[in-house]
């Protein structure tokens, strides 16, 4: 791969439909597509996304948010399931795994390869708050059991699960879509929000998404976890919360549509920040700025603030997740 092609593998971008996806894959060879609530879903039902991926030099990650409940982006085409909280209240872990496998098979047939689910947040928020019923429980042990079962079900169907939102959004101060979110101090997260990750990140073949969260005792007061080397370093090493080392793919949360980031940093600044901090993949919602983001990343490499070795490590992780590399 050329340097620019390697950098493009580290981008997953939202698309409006098949034409938008085909254009950006052909012109900039991005590593993945995000199917959002605004996407024309005929890209999936027509088989277009599989065709675009087959034509790509490197297979695409085709990603979606399907947690169930109110985060069911494909409900218009018949893919739906209960919320996490409802599953934990009405199903056993084994039943949850079977349900997730059934959903995963539907995603697989549509051409999806990665699901940004399950939500591993620990929360007692009321159902309609930002995390709310997206969380299985306010009990870390229950979250661990059910998130693991859901993830195993997706894997049974050939879908890569992505746990979110590290290091824990469930007791945060608000909604990162609309502004800055502060969590309880790291010492408190260690006994609650971070507990599920000690087990979940031992699973092979899973990803992790880092939230836009200010964590006292970890991130300082300015840089949220998603663009913070200390937070992503804790995820990678497990040090600081008793977790396992994690060498899977790390995704940023959306960098363009969430005010916790977008109100402070334009996308050409946010993406290099996320990748320098240690994320493998920067996620955002549109294709128009891909060329200028790649230009910014190349400048970062020229300046030495983003090293070739750092990029290569991420690209290897990404290609392993895609099944291109097996070593």
Say which residues have a Cβ less than 8 Å from residue 264's Cβ, sequence separation at least 6. none
Of the candidates 80, 156, 177, 295, the residue annotated as catalytic is: 177
User: Tokens representing 125?
Assistant: 């928020």
H, E, C per residue of 79-121? CCCCCHHHHHHHCCHHHHHHHHHHHHHHHHHHCCCEECCCECC
290-303 and 267-277 helices cross at what angle (nearest 10)? 50
Q: Rounded CA gap, 203 and 152, in Å?
A: 9
> Which residue has 């039943």 as its token pair?
95
Angstrom distances, CA of residue 3 to CA of 217, 273, 297, 307: 36, 18, 10, 11
Q: Rounded CA gap, 280 and 254, in Å?
A: 13
User: Tokens representing 163?
Assistant: 């746990």
Angstrom distances, CA of residue 34 to CA of 18, 113, 281: 12, 11, 12
- Is residue 66 part of the annotated active site? The answer reads no
Q: Cα 325 to chain center, whole Å?
A: 21
User: Tokens representing 319?
Assistant: 């290609």
- Beta-strand relationship, 66-68 and 114-115: unpaired
H, E, C per residue of 51-86? HHHHHCCCCCEEEECEEECCEECCHHHCCCCCCHHH
Of the candidates 253, 288, 302, 312, the residue annotated as catalytic is: 253
- Is residue 253 part of the annotated active site? The answer reads yes
Q: Rounded CA gap, 327 and 324, in Å?
A: 9
Q: Rounded CA gap, 227 and 213, in Å?
A: 10
Q: Rounded CA gap, 132 and 62, in Å?
A: 27
Say which residues have a Cβ less than 8 Å from residue 29's Cβ, sequence separation at least 6. 4, 5, 8, 9, 56, 57, 58
Catalytic residue numbers, as ranges = 177, 253
């Amino acid at each position: 791969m050329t340097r620019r092609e390697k950098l493009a593998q580290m981008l997953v971008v939202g698309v409006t439909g098949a034409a938008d996806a085909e254009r950006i894959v052909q012109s900039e060879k991005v590593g993945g597509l995000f199917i959002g609530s605004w996407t024309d879903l005929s890209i999936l039902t027509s088989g277009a996304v599989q065709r675009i991926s087959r034509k790509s030099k490197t297979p695409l990650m085709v990603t979606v948010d399907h947690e169930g409940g109110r985060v069911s982006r494909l409900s218009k085409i018949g893919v739906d399931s209960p919320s996490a909280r409802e599953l934990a209240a009405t199903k056993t872990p084994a039943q949850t795994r079977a349900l997730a496998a059934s959903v995963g098979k539907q995603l697989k047939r549509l051409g999806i390869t990665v699901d940004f689910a399950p939500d591993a947040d620990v929360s007692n928020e009321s159902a309609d708050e930002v995390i709310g019923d997206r969380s299985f429980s306010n009990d870390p042990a229950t979250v661990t059991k059910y998130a693991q079962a859901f993830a195993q079900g997706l894997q049974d169907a050939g879908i890569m699960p992505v746990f979110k939102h590290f290091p824990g959004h469930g007791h945060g101060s608000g909604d990162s879509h609309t502004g800055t979110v502060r969590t309880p101090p790291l010492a408190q997260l260690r006994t609650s929000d971070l507990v599920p990750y000690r087990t979940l990140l031992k699973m092979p073949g899973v990803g992790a998404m880092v939230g836009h969260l200010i964590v006292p005792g970890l991130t300082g007061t300015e840089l949220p976890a998603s663009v913070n080397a200390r937070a992503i370093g804790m995820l990678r090493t497990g040090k600081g919360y008793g977790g396992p080392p994690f060498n899977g793919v790390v995704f940023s949360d959306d960098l363009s549509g969430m005010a916790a980031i977008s109100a402070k940093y334009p996308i050409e600044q946010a993406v290099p920040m996320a990748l320098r901090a240690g994320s493998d993949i920067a996620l955002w919602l549109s294709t128009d700025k891909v060329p200028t983001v790649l230009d910014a990343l190349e400048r970062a490499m020229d300046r030495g603030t983003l090293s070739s070795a750092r990029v290569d490590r991420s690209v290897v992780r990404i290609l392993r997740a895609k099944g291109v590399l097996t070593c």
